[in-house]
Amino acid sequence: MDKQGEAYWKATLGLLTKILVVWFIVSFGAGILFADLLNGIHLGGYPLGFWFAQQGSIYIFVALIFYYAKKMDEIDRKFDVHEE
């Protein structure tokens, strides 16, 4: 693999790592590990830990999909492997 291919792969893995960390923190952290701590805060009448476990994580996941698509497009254009 050439230098540009390695740099592209490194940028892609870096983006995936960031997204997976956010995904883990939101799903496992906010929904399970820190649920009791977050339940002291209410959002829309529901405890925040419950809200993250039921709805908030879905909103974050959808936002991550759009963020991933936007950032991958930027990475593809940077390394000139984008589709027209």
The tokens describing 81, both together, are: 């492997």
What confidence tens digit (pLDDT) does each residue in 16-35 have? 999 999 999 988 888 888 88
**Reported confidence tier of residue 45, pLDDT bands at 50, 70, 90:** confident
What confidence tens digit (pLDDT) does each residue in 51-84 have? 888 888 899 999 999 999 999 999 999 998 877 7
The tokens describing 40, both together, are: 């002291």
CA distance 52 to 39: 10
Which amino acid type is present at position 77? R
Output the 3-class SS for 27-65.
HHHHHHHCHHHHCCCEECCEEHHHHHHHHHHHHHHHHHH
CA distance 46 to 39: 8
